Structure 1
Amino acid sequence: MKNKFALSFATLAIAAFPATASAEAGDLQVKLLGTLVSPDGEITRVDTDIVGLPADTQTKANDNFVPTLAIEYYFSDNFSVETICCMTQHDVDAVSGLPGAELVSNAKVIPATFTAKYHFDLGAVRPYVGAGPTYFLWVGEDPGAATLPLGVTDTDLSDEFGVALQAGFDVDLNDKGLGLTFDAKRYFVDTTAQWYVGDTLAIQTKHKLDPWVLSAGVSYRF
C-alpha cells in the first residue's frame, strides 16, 4: 500500500511540472519584457552655479515603464551572455530647494548593457545571477520648464560608463523553448548635467542615477 501511495504521489508530482528541455551550449534565447526603470537622479556635486541655486536644492528623475527586448546566447548549459535593447525617457525635477521645478525635460537614454550570467539548474525553474558593463548614451534632453525663464537655451547630460548587477529566474512552460522570465538589475552609473545660457555654462552638477530596472515577460529559447 505504501509503495502504491508513493508511486501515485510521484506520478502526480511529475505531472504538476511541464516537460522541459535544459539550456545547452549554442542556444539562443529571446525575451520580450515589460520593464520598470526607476532612477535616482540625486545631485552629488555642484561644480558651477552662476544663477544662485538654493543651498538645499536636490533632484529626482521620474520612473518610466517601457517595453524591452533581451537577447541571450548560451556558451554552456550554465553560462550565457545577454544584451538588452530599449530606450527610456525621463524628466528631472527638484524635490527640495525648488520643489516641483522641472529642470530637465524628455531626457532619452539608451542603456547599452552586456551581462555575463551564471544559471542554476533546478529543473523547470532556473535562477541566475549576472554582472557586466553598461554605457548610458543620451540621445536627447531639453531644458526643463523652470529653467527657461532663466534664459537657459540648452541642457546636456554626459554619456557615461557604469556597471550593472543582475539576478532573476526563468521558468520553462514546455519542452519547445517557451517560458516566463523575471529579472532585476541595479545599475551604478553617474552623469554630469550642464545648463547653458547661450554659450555660457550657467550650472554644472554631478548626478547619481543608479536605477533599478525590473522586468517580467515571455521568453523563447531555440
Structure 2
Amino acid sequence: MKRLLLTTLLASTVLVPAISANAADLPRRERVEAPIELWNPWMIRVRALGVMPQKSDKSRVKLDGVGEPGSNISTTYTVVPELDISYFFTKNIAVELILGTTPHSVKGAGSLAGVGRIGRTWLLPPTLTLQYHFNLTDNIKPYVGAGVNYTIFYNNKSRGDFTGFKVNNAFGVALQAGVDFMIDKHWGLNVDVKKLWLRPTAKAWLGDTFVKTKAKLDPWLIGVGVTYKF
C-alpha cells in the first residue's frame, strides 16, 4: 500500500508540470473587438420647396407719403429646389442652414387692384435654425427648430406703368418643424415646414407718384425631399 501511494505521488509530480507546459504551448484564441463606427455630424437635404407668402390686408401702402385707405399688395406662390446643410453638435442638437432662391411677382390689391403688376423680384432667404431632434424610433426622427432669416431681394424689375421698383433686404424670425423617415443609416425622406415673419419695404414710382409699402409677407415654406446622413 505504501509503495502504491509513493508511486502515485511520484507520477503526479512528473506529469502535472508536463501537462501545464503543453497547455501553455497551445494556440490561444484572441478576442476580436467589434470595429467602432465613427459618428459623422454632417447631414444634407435636397427638397422641392413651396414658398407661400401670406395673403392679407395688413400691408401698409403710401402714395407720396400719405396712406391709401383699403390699399394692399399681393405676391405670388412659387416652387423651387432647395438645399440645406445640417451640423450635429450631439445626437439630438443641430444647426441647419437653408439655401434657395425664388422669384415672386408683386401686384396691387384692395383699392390698388386695378394697377395690376407692380414689379418682379428674386429673393434669397438664407435661414439658420437651431434644432432639437427626437429619436421617436430607429427610423422616424422628428425635429423642431427656431432661428433667424436674412432675406436678400435682387434682380428687381418694375412692371406695367411702374418704374424704379425695389424691395429692401430684411431680417426675419423663423420657426420650423419636420421629420426624417430614414430608410437606412444614410438615406431617408424628409418633410419640413417653416414659418417666416418677414416685413420688407418695397417702393416704386407710378408716373410722378411715389409708392411705398411695408409688405407683410410672413411666408410658409413647405418642403419635401431626400435626406443624406454622412
Instruction: Compute the TM-score of the two structures, normalised by the length of structure 2.
Output: 0.76
Alpha-carbon distance, 1:211 to partner: 0.2
Identity %: 32
Query: Are 2:190 and 1:192 equivalent residues in the alignment?
Result: no
Are 1:26 and 1:75, in contact at CA under 8 Å, matched by a contact in 2? Answer: no
* Secondary structure of 1:153 counterpart: strand
Q: Which moved more, 1:159-168 or 1:26-35?
A: 26-35
Are 1:26 and 1:76, in contact at CA under 8 Å, matched by a contact in 2? Answer: no
1:39 to 53, 58, 70: 53
- Which residue identity lines up with residue 113 of structure 1 in the other structure? T
Deviation sequence 1:113-167 (CA, Å, 0-9, x none): 100000010121011000001001001221122xx1xxx3211111111111000
Deviation sequence 1:175-219 (CA, Å, 0-9, x none): 3x1000100000001011111369x77111111110000000011
Aligned to 1:164: 174
Query: Are 2:192 and 1:183 equivalent residues in the alignment?
Result: yes
Aligned to 2:6: none
Aligned to 2:80: 66
The structure 1 segments of at least 4 consecutive aligned residues displaced by more than 2 Å after TM superposition are: 40-46, 50-55, 98-106
Separation in structure 1 between the aligned mates of residue 114 and residue 180 of structure 2, nearest angstrom: 40
Instruction: Compute the TM-score of the two structures, normalised by the length of structure 1.
Output: 0.79
Are 1:157 and 1:192, in contact at CA under 8 Å, matched by a contact in 2? Answer: yes
Query: Are 2:220 and 1:220 equivalent residues in the alignment?
Result: no
Separation in structure 1 between the aligned mates of residue 104 and residue 48 of structure 2, nearest angstrom: 17
Are 2:140 and 2:180, in contact at CA under 8 Å, matched by a contact in 1? Answer: yes
Query: Are 2:168 and 1:153 equivalent residues in the alignment?
Result: no
Give unpaired runs (5+ residues) of structure 1.
Answer: 1-23
Give unpaired runs (5+ residues) of structure 2.
Answer: 1-37
Q: CA RMSD in A?
A: 2.3
Are 1:134 and 1:161, in contact at CA under 8 Å, matched by a contact in 2? Answer: yes
Separation in structure 2 between the aligned mates of residue 100 and residue 36 of structure 1, nearest angstrom: 28
Separation in structure 2 between the aligned mates of residue 172 and residue 79 of structure 1, nearest angstrom: 18
Aligned to 1:129: 144
- Which residue identity lines up with residue 187 of structure 1 in the other structure? L
Q: Which has the higher contact order (CA 8 A, sep 6+)?
A: 1
